[in-house]
Structure 1
């Protein structure tokens, strides 16, 4: 049943051979959720006084913040020159992140006597994490196998709440006092509490319990992405993989290609060694569950010049088939639809090109839609609405294009009706159903296909009943003329500046909206919030590198390079990005000089 929430791969029962953990209140992760929430400056929130602070610290058990965090991912692939039209390797990468303005990424070309590299990183982080150095190209996606966090539950001393049980005795919490300036209230005192494992995020004095988080991210030497500063200089796969051995967080799938013709894949990231538990459930913080270091970098998965001539990743379960079963890394991955589509396209393409990679990055074919709609072939409508809906889906080609009526009907059905009906059918108690929302696509598809195979009558009732509701909903939202329905009328990309509402400048500081295709299950990731279909996550940057033919490479940032709303380059790339277009990623001096429209020269002031 839990597969409806998150399908585990490889198959695994987290309760097998262990005591059932003590239940914790649903609010125990409120502080953790708030820590990863996006910055907002709504007028109502800003008008609230300090006495109302607690009202703004509550989170629903599965709010949008949690959904967005679970959906982040990326695509990357590398193709050997033996399978390209130009005889040179091609590397492509499009990292998927929560949309933001100013842009999360920044395209940069760094040229010096020692280094000449081009690509993108994040403005706050040094180095180039995605790009090339004139010899080697590299790109990353999140490797979701590494479980880099644990939830610890502590028994606190019944007479002294400043102590928690550890080993045979009691250990003192480490308390740190901080102050924060609060508008209209001066300085506010903050009490931060830590255990030996990490920050305390919840305390329950009446139950003598405390909850803390341990994460790799707070260990020394794990500055996010910082290893890029060295990896971007590598000129061989062996050197590149050695650098991945020191990559801390986040865990990544790195693909590599060089002008010699080598291609490869290497995993980077610190993976905790848990000798007596799997990391999926809370554990006592009394010393019985301690990390025993990290897996050594050379032991992590990799592939050098794979026999099939290409390698692709999309945050799916991608441990090698011969990975030792007694050496688990993790179990919670993103569903494999994007990876399956990408692999299928690359496998069929013997003469891959830069343009083919561009088309694949913006591909909106939905593998889940093909599976679901295929189950409807034996059904007949019981009324006019069901018959019309079945006809629309039967003539549709499973592409979630922005102008597609079938895509609009399918996604409304899937997001608001079908998977809701599947969860309701599986979970008898209504009060428990929100814990399974929004649901794991892979687990829901498996259950739907099982219902269709075992109980065709029940499947027909569930499918047709929910499809009829989706058809009626589309008529209400998009009008009675089904030819005028379009997925992009519901599914839009709007880049909202977090301070736009406060400055009464939303119209000038926001970028968009743009009709957009895709979903979280298509190579062109178009993940959205189910409440209104607003796009929340997608490619923050796209790049396709012709390795050795560097000036043939292309890229696109979004919404623009500048963080200044007054600049022409604040949002000028967003329309191109939304349309699936690119700009040249020129590298050689000759090509750059010929295309330059502005040169800004910064000259240090000479000492007097």
Structure 2
């Protein structure tokens, strides 16, 4: 049946009319950026200025009004992100999302973050508690006063946010501790491999980096023999899953053109939309802060306070252990201890699920910590008389990390900073600091366990007491350095201590490639400028690629196409730049070598399809005749040399099919994932923030490629700098900043993705508070008069 043209036109006009109506209705979710808003919680007027990039300056007459204003502004731009964070941390996602997030909620309820932060809050000082209360008042002022439409996520999920509470802000710290602590996940992986391989062979998959430039001048503790049990996988999605990488360095005034220190920092996290950071400048009569805040948190997390500047990287310490608990065969409610059988601590968690009956979860705790086995993926009905319990320093009731962050915000010199970080309990971080007096400092505060025996790499028996923790490394003995003789401090997650350090911080450390490259570039000049440090942050040379190519280029060839590939890579300078083609060839070869080296590992081959060059390099160099023992056969021969040749041949044959005009940047593009929009096919494509990117897994400009894509030539960038900053201690207003995506979390805002190009290209901004532009938007927050004050 044919539809008349007039009828079709009418239908199209109707759709257009409805779509236009929805669009203008949803525009009501955008915040008010000008005029005056009365807030009852304020003591005095606060001015909020947004420039043409969405960068915010808050001018307040006292710090508590500043916290209230920050809470209000965060809620204006990022309320759904804040709500998603607290629901994730408290195990309440399923209430609004449905059964799809039940496994996440079960895991979070087992960890018990909600009760934990309530206990943590009670021991904070009154000043810190008042700051959290003030921030919450600002968030709630927005929730209560915003009578128009809320941001699109609330509409799609059909719910309204609850009142914000001070302990909601503390959930952010526990989630960050979880993301920056990968030890238990690695223990699970090792245990799964151990069911098929010997401990010696498993250990070879985590090689030690012999070239690490140690920052500060461990011993090997005896390894406890693990028991053979089934170990599942954590249930967390990529944004919440453990991952870690960051760069930070600081040089003293003797090495700078200004005569004062320069500090650089770029923490690396999952690349999501919106990003985890919100840039702000806050001015009060006593302090001025500028840098990165996290929506949901009242304090500056990274930045400067007009006296000092500071930055973080993950220490990569081993602060988690999995203990194997043995069940009483006659009573599953008990587990074995050195003193005999003991009852589990138990609680019932009721998880509400949208459009479904509630789910009841029994959470058990042993003397070592929460029992994880029932909430790990793949462990259903496989307890076999044993359970895994998690000991983790971040689960202690007396954690004062929020207190430390508050005190860092008010430190004026290195001594204040040193006192502040004593309460920085979890996760252990390596902090760098510089003050305007010229001091530079590195400290690694945090609670790191001292074990009776073992080195934390494998799950250990919990019933004997032989593997228990016997204490925490004393704060005074943690790694630190103040004003070193070589005038610089560098940390990039690499090994922090030398072999004679008297405690075990970690047995496994990330590779040293980024740290070594930073040292190379810092040492190229006697006097470094701010601009020099910006250039270093954007560096894309891969030491890893150049070193492994020394092995790969010796590969025998059987065809001219393979020889051409070898020649092309032999002339490559190791730069993973935007318009190069060699990086695509290189990572394609790494892809096939990973399959040849690890593709048949029992149960866990996919865990080794990564961009870990050090692991592959050591396997190739130290086991030249047997590196392919656990690999997929690329050619039907047992000879590893034949597998190497075939890996190169596959690269060469596929290269002929590749459009030679396609660059590394395009093949390595970043798609910033949104937790809701990406799940809706058409909407996800319309709102996708995507950009071509340079760099690689081991470059200073971190851009870690995923190696699990079905299209062998495409390696999406999934992990990199969420924030970049370079601080000029001679003139802190000359400091430079960058975040990924933009300030707003609302896709209808012009500030949702406006930083993409700047982030990719290193086009930094200042937070100097001096820009007065015609298109700057001024909002006044004023105290709402009550009946008593009228």
State the TM-score bracket (shorter-chain normalisation). Answer: 0.7 to 0.9
CA distance in 1, matches of 2:325, 2:400: 28
Distance across 1 between alignment mates of 2:593 and 2:449: 38
Corresponding residue pairs, total:
558
Q: Secondary structure at the match of 1:102?
A: coil
Is 2:583 the counterpart of 1:417? Answer: no
Alpha carbons 2:555, 2:644 under 8 Å: kept: no
Match 1:297 to one of 466, 475, 484: 475
Q: 1:178 aligns with which of 344, 349, 366?
A: 349
Answering whether residue 708 of structure 2 is matched by residue 531 of structure 1, we say yes
Aligned equivalent of 2:262, options 78, 90, 99? 90
Contact 2:249 2:265 in 1 (8 A): yes
Report how far residue 9 of structure 1 moved. 6.6
1:466 aligns with 2:647: yes
Q: Is the 8 A contact 1:125 1:225 kept in 2?
A: no
Tell me, yes or no, if structure 1 residue 499 matches structure 2 residue 699: no
In the TM superposition, residue 164 of structure 1 has moved relative to its aligned partner by 0.8
Determine the structure 2 residue equivalent to 1:257.
Answer: 434
Offset, 1:406? 0.7
1:286-339 Cα shifts (integer Å, max 9, x gaps):
244332231121211111111111111100112146523xx2111122111111
TM superposition shift of 1:594:
6.5
Could you tell me how far apart the structure 2 residues matched to 1:377 and 1:169 are? 60
Residue 582 of structure 2 corresponds to 406
1:311 is aligned to 2:511: no
**What is residue 279 of structure 2 aligned with on the other side?**
107
Aligned to 2:614: 442
- Asked if the contact 2:448/2:472 (under 8 Å) is kept, the reply is yes
Among 212, 218, 225, the residue aligned to 1:20:
225
Q: Secondary structure at the match of 1:411?
A: helix
- Give the match's secondary structure for 2:228: coil
Are 1:451 and 1:459, in contact at CA under 8 Å, matched by a contact in 2? no
Q: After the TM superposition, which residues 215-234 of structure 1 pair with which residues of structure 2 at under 5 Å, given as runs?
A: 215-222=392-399, 227-234=404-411
Deviation at residue 556 of structure 1 after TM alignment: 0.7
Please list, as runs of the form range in 1=range in 2, the aligned pairs for 1:236-255 lying within 5 A after superposition. 236-255=413-432
Counterpart CA distance in 1 for 2:611 and 2:582 is 22
Equivalent residue for 1:554, pick from 724, 736, 740: 736
Equivalences for residues 203-602 of structure 1 within 5 A: 207-222=384-399, 227-286=404-463, 287-320=465-498, 322-324=500-502, 327-376=503-552, 381-414=557-590, 416-423=591-598, 433-434=605-606, 436-438=608-610, 440-450=612-622, 461-476=642-657, 478-479=658-659, 481=660, 484-502=661-679, 504-511=682-689, 513-532=690-709, 533-587=715-769, 591-593=770-772, 597-602=776-781
Deviates more, 1:263-272 or 1:367-376: 367-376
CA distance, structure 1, for counterparts of residue 294 and residue 208 of structure 2: 32
User: In the TM superposition, what whole-angstrom CA distance separates every residue of 1:92-149 from its partner, at most 9, and x where no partner exists?
Assistant: 10000011112201112222233221111321233112111111111010001x2111
Change (3 A) 1:454 1:220: closer
Give, in angstroms, the shift of residue 373 of structure 1: 2.1
Comparing both structures, which one devotes a greater share of its residues to helix? Answer: 2
Q: TM-score under structure 1 normalisation?
A: 0.85
> How far does the alpha carbon of each residue in 1:516-538 deviate from its partner, in whole angstroms, 9 at most, with x for none?
11111100110122123221110
Question: TM-score, with normalisation over the residues of structure 2?
Answer: 0.66
Q: Give the whole-Å Cα distance in 2 for the aligned partners of 1:36 and 1:198.
A: 23
Question: Shift of residue 259 of structure 1?
Answer: 1.1
Q: Describe the SS at the equivalent of 2:450.
A: coil
Instruction: Report deviation, 1:245.
Output: 2.0
Distance 1:596 1:220, change over 3 A: farther
For residues 257-297 of structure 1, the C-alpha deviation after alignment (integer angstroms, 9 at most, x for no partner) is 11111111111111111122222211222244332231121
Q: 1:316 to 1:206 in 2, by over 3 A?
A: closer
State the distance in 2 between where 1:281 and 1:252 align.
23
* Stretches of structure 1 lacking an aligned partner (at least 5 in a row): 40-64
SS of the residue corresponding to residue 389 of structure 1 reads helix
Q: CA deviation at 1:213?
A: 0.9
